[in-house]
């Protein structure tokens, strides 16, 4: 995670901590030095959800989550703890405001909540010291809550992925839609912002689909990292490893089109250390955050009626590359994978598509 992203999530974490009871603030503060700000922010949101549930169910008589006592956690029954996770698992969340589509909360999300609460309860029952030099309490009900590993075979994961990415020529169709048809859906007010950011946004979409880089790699891209001669961009991979990523010529052309208007459009300069993707503000320009880029991807893909994330665009590129080459070492190198297991998933995605096509072809032989 970049320093700007760390600062962003740390600020949001600190804002959430202000709303928490003292014992949770103490726990989060004890983890700040060695857990990522993003992980702790997600934990804090899980604790917020948990405390709200305790109040709504009458398990705590507090009026605000800040007032939920540590005794409430100490006396929480196993049945109550189980009921909380069952409630979370039954919840649905809004995927798209436009289509009013809701999806069930995934088990892996609830597993994260279990991990967050198990960590908190372990701290309160083992690590922390109250005024009497003892832990806050000794009975850890969360130890009795199992975390069920969500197991999927590689082929199952591949089949599920196929439903969530652009397959065959759909990525090219999507880019054509953004370039030629998207503006037809806009109001006059929306059109003004679209015209200002069209080249930038299109370059972002094209680069994800034409290189397979990660969100964090794209948001941290500097002008000096782009090499049009070698047709590569230089990125910092996980573990702070420097790497060069090959980009398809069309995506480089789209990036070049954006860079030609970047400085004048956003009142920016061409310093090699300046960020490539920026936004215009009252006090000059600033780099686009990960969250801003996610919103850009969501806006265009939702309009295309297939809401996606930067990670799904990366999957799309990887699947296309695997399908074109069948070359696992190449896929590993291009995507920065350390294990062939992850890259093999994209080969299986192609197999999943082949199986689906075979089923459709087989239907022709059926007789009523």
**Paired tokens of 177:** 């839609």
pLDDT in tens, 340-358: 555 555 555 554 554 555 5
pTM of the model: 0.55
Instruction: Summarize pLDDT for 62-89 with one digit per residue, the tens.
Output: 999 999 999 999 999 999 999 999 999 8
From the list 311, 353, 355, 356, the catalytic residue is 311
pLDDT in tens, 160-185: 444 566 766 778 888 999 999 899 88
Torsions phi, psi for 163 (to 5 deg): -75, -15
Is residue 133 flagged as an active site residue?
A: no
Predicted local distance difference test score (pLDDT) of residue 159: 47
Tell me, yes or no, if 118 is annotated catalytic.
Answer: no
**Active site (annotated) includes residue 315:** no
From the candidates 114, 198, 200, 214, give the one annotated as an active-site residue. 214
The 3 state secondary structure assigned to the chain is CCHHHHHHHHHHHHHHHCCCCHHHHHHHHHHCCCCCHHHHHHHHHHHHHHHHHHHHCCCCCCCCHHHCCHHHHHCCCHHHHHHHHHHHHHCEEEEECCCCEEEECCHHHHHHHHHHHHHHHHHHHHHCCCCCCCCCCCCCHHHHCCCCCCCCCHHHHHHHHHCCCCCCCHHHHHHHHHHHHHHHHCCHHHHHHHHHHHHHHHHHHHHHHHHCCCHHHHHCCEHHHEECCCCEEEEECHHHCEEEEECCHHHHHHHHHHHHHHHHHHCCCCCCCCECCEEEECCEEEECCHHHHHHHHHHHHHHCCCCCCHHHHHHHHHHHHHHHHCCHHHHHHHHCCCCHHHHHHHHHHHHHHHHHHHHHHHHHHCCC
Residue 315 confidence (pLDDT): 82
Structure tokens that stand for 31 in this block: 């983890």
DSSP bridge pairs for 227: 232
Residue 337 annotated to the active site = yes
- Among 86, 144, 238, 295, the one annotated catalytic: 238
Catalytic residue flag (residue 214): yes
The CATH number of the domain covering residues in 156-361: 1.10.443.10
Active site residue 112: no
- Show the low-confidence residues of the chain (pLDDT under 70): 1-5, 92-103, 149-165, 167-168, 326-329, 337-368
Residue of 198, 200, 315, 337 with catalytic role: 337
List the catalytic residue out of 262, 307, 314, 315. Answer: 314
- What is the per-residue pLDDT for 158? 44
Q: Map out the domains of the chain as residue ranges.
A: 3-151, 156-361
């Amino acid at each position: 995670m970049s320093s700007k992203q760390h600062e962003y999530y740390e600020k949001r974490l600190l804002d959430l901590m202000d709303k928490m009871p003292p014992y949770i603030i103490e726990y989060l503060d004890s983890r700040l030095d060695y857990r990522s700000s993003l992980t702790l922010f997600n934990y804090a949101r899980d604790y917020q959800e948990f405390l709200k549930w305790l109040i709504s169910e009458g398990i705590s008589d507090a009026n605000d989550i800040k007032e939920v006592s540590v005794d409430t956690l100490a006396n929480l029954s196993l049945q109550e703890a189980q009921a909380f996770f069952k409630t979370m698992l039954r919840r649905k969340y809004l995927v798209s405001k436009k289509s009013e589509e809701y999806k069930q909360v995934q088990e892996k999300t609830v597993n994260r909540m279990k991990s967050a609460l198990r960590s908190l309860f372990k701290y309160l029952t083992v690590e922390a010291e109250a005024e009497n030099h003892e832990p806050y309490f000794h009975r850890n009900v969360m130890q009795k809550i199992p975390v069920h590993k969500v197991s999927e075979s590689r082929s199952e994961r591949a089949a599920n992925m196929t439903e969530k990415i652009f397959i065959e020529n759909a990525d090219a169709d999507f880019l054509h839609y953004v370039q030629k048809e998207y503006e037809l859906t806009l109001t006059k007010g929306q059109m003004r912002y679209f015209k200002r950011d069209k080249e930038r946004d299109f370059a972002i979409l094209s680069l994800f689909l034409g290189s397979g880089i990660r969100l964090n790699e794209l948001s941290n891209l500097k002008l000096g990292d782009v090499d049009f001669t070698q047709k590569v961009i230089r990125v910092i991979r996980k573990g702070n490893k420097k790497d060069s990523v090959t980009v398809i010529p069309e995506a480089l052309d789209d990036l070049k089109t954006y860079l030609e208007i970047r400085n004048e459009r956003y009142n920016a300069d061409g310093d090699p250390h300046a960020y490539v993707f920026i936004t215009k503000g009252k006090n000059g320009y600033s780099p686009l955050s990960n969250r801003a880029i996610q919103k850009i991807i969501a806006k265009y893909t939702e309009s295309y009626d297939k809401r996606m994330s930067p990670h799904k665009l990366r999957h799309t590129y990887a699947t296309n590359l695997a399908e074109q080459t069948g070359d696992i070492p190449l896929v590993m190198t291009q995507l920065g994978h350390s294990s062939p297991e992850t890259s093999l998933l994209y080969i299986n995605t192609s197999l999943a598509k082949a199986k689906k096509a075979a089923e459709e072809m087989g239907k022709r032989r059926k007789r009523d």
